[in-house]
A and B are shown apart, each in its own frame.
Chain A
Amino acid sequence: MMKLRVIPHGTLGGRFLNLEPGQGMKVEIPVGGTVKNLLAILGIPEKVKAVVVVEGRVLKENDTMPPGSSASIFEPIHGG
């Protein structure tokens, strides 16, 4: 298993009790686990199409999560 820090933002923050805005939480996923695996462990359905950003880069669902990384997650949003 590998440890990650996950920071849910925006509407996803409300899914995790007792988290202040911007506060992170520790999550463990199997070594070599992907974005898809992480979201499944967090209980975020695929239909949400949650965005995972690590070190400023938006990851794709089959990208491997870097060990020890800090991941920001949120729902997609457009700007106009």
Chain B
Amino acid sequence: MKFLKINMTDRTIKTENVPEQYRGLGGRGLTSIMINAEVRPKCDPLGPENMLIVAPGFLSGTNLVNTSRISIGAKSPLTGTIKESNAGGTVAAALGRLGITAVIIEGQAPEGEISFLKIDEKGDALLVPAREHKGKRTYALVEEILETYGKKTSVLCIGPAGEQRLAAASIQSSDIDGRPCRAAGRGGLGAVMGAKGLKAIIVDQGGKTPDPLADPEAFKEAAKGIVKAIKEDPMSSHVMPELGTAGLVAPVNSMGAFPSYNARKGVLEGWEKISGEAMAKLIRERGGKTTHMGCAQCIVHCSNEFVDQKGEYITGSLEYETIWSMGGMTGIDDLDTIARLDHLCDDIGVDTMSTGVAVAVAMDAGHAKFGDSKAALRMVEEIARGTEFGKILGNGPVAVGKHFNHARVPAVKGQSIAAYDPRAMLGNGVTFATCPMGADHTAGNLVGAYLTRQLDPLKNEGQVETSRNLQIAMAAADCTGICFMAFVALLGPEGGSAFLSAINAKFGTKLGPDDIQALGVRVLKAEREFNRKAGFTNQDDRLPRFFYEEPLPPHNTVFTISDRELDTVFDF
């Protein structure tokens, strides 16, 4: 249980025990509660007052499966709100095995100075000058890092977009094969890392000093129960390994809720060409991997490796949200182009979702035609080249909308929506509007509730309550390091009980379900409090006007949840 505090201004490094007020926290809970307590809400997100906090979940570093989500938090340069973005890969497990609760980056390096932060197998840290790596793209950078520091190394890094401090810059996380293809993409945290003067955080995977378990035997039993639940759950055990998250393309289009052509339609013409099954078939034919272990200790294997016609790697884990942003929103129905755009974004270090939507807004404003693959690739390349338009694009869809004086920008608090149109899935609109971090599907996604017929996506009834409950549940889940694909399997009574037992065995507590809910509420309250102090009000918890006014085909419905109802989401 220790904090590693790095001050980039004076290059000092301190290790300290986790203060009492942060004990028992991990992941998003730790990043959000600490930022609310210690970062001045009105500070410049790209200045020395902001903190960048890297926190594994509190179960990361144990031998429990699927617990390698890393939470990264800061005040966001994209939204101006508090932000947590989490990613898979291997770094959360590596930090957890070192007993590191969080790496806290403070201050700011002098202009032009850039460093690596290297953490060795004993947990000792060192800032290494990295001027020769300035401007490097992430794939080449990580290859060199692994050559220098060894293959058993986890990397968090930024690309040119982060160095340019662009508001949609991501922090890329290396996967099990050492590729920087996982992303803490949302909220522009790559720009915060770039502003600090940090190019990469490099963590030795050989740590052997995880925090002790309060009850190792009970933990072992609980871990077995969790594995059993995951293996028995249809989605975790065979839908995800076969199709990955791309399996959502067919259901969401079939329901008319796949925002297409910059959210002008709810169905993409030709979506069958970019569906999960079409992707799996293409990958199989070319000799790629339809299922793949991307993250440490994963037993779900939702990842894939998309290859070209020669069988050569293009990108790792082509996922639903990227297929949507780079495909549905831009009208591009070609998986090869979408895969290249995905790779390009990972390599440059920008969020695929914000970038795809930014390209779509530019197309909608007449800058290029929908479906123009070459134009999309050219636009995204401009980000790496640092052209004036590239900078605008890399600052996200709101910046593009301002540039073209184009009002149809599907974003809330500066961050683009995800792959569920609020007019055809009302509850997802509630989440997008009210999430403290801007529109964010991971905060509380109702698509599963719709597909399991718990709720009608087109009727107001139950949307606010379901969004609220999911936002609370996800705020708590994001503290643990568990991946969502495994978490779904733990929503049943047996899996849920095993998960609670694992938490209690870790801490020596007797927490019940109400305590977990209370943790989620505590996290959301901290996030809302920070935002209020930063100047946000309920008026910011609103969708763009066109969602209320412009009917979405094929249902031809608009968003009908009232402002009054939205204001009750966090009525606790």
Contacts and interface: CB of A to CB of B under 8 A. Distances in A.
A21 B277 contact: yes
B453 A58 contact: yes
Contact of B275 (A22, A56, A75, A77): A22
Interface stretch (B73-81, B244-252, B336-344): B244-252
B28 to A, nearest CB: 13
Given A22-B278, A48-B234, A56-B555, A76 B448 contact: yes
B254 A72 contact: yes
Contacts of B451: 51, 58, 76-78
Q: Give the interface residue-count category, chain B.
A: 35 or more
A50 B484 CA distance: 21
A49 B250 contact: no
A54 B251 CA distance: 11
B192 to A, nearest CB: 24
A56 B253 CA distance: 8
B450 interface: yes
Contact of B277 (A9, A57, A78): A9
A58 B250 contact: no
Given A10-B243, A80-B485, A60 B453 contact: yes
Given A75-B239, A77-B451, A79-B445, A51 B277 contact: no
B537 interface: no
Interface residues of A, number: 23
B276 interface: yes
Contact of B448 (A9, A11, A56, A78): A78
Interface in B267-306: 272, 275-278, 281
Contact of A56 (B245, B276, B554): B554
Contact of B239 (A55, A60, A77, A80): A77
Nearest to A9: B250
A55 B255 CA distance: 8
Contacts of A11: 238-239, 242-243, 247
A79 B424 CA distance: 16
Interface string A3-33: 0000001110100000001100000000000
A56 B256 contact: yes
A70 to B, nearest CB: 10
Contacts of A77: 235, 239, 247-248, 251, 447-448, 451
Interface string B438-461: 000110010110111100111000
A13 B238 CA distance: 13
B500 interface: no
Max count, chain A CB within 10 A of own CB: residue among B243, B247, B254, B484: B254
Interface of B: 234-235, 238-239, 242-243, 245, 247-248, 250-251, 254-256, 266, 272, 275-278, 281, 320, 419-420, 424, 441-442, 445, 447-448, 450-453, 456-458, 474, 484-485, 487-488, 554-555
16 contacts: A9-B250, A9-B277, A10-B243, A10-B276, A11-B242, A11-B243, A51-B251, A55-B554, A72-B250, A76-B451, A77-B239, A77-B451, A78-B488, A79-B248, A79-B420, A79-B441
The 3 closest A-B pairs by CB, nearest first: A80-B484, A78-B448, A22-B272
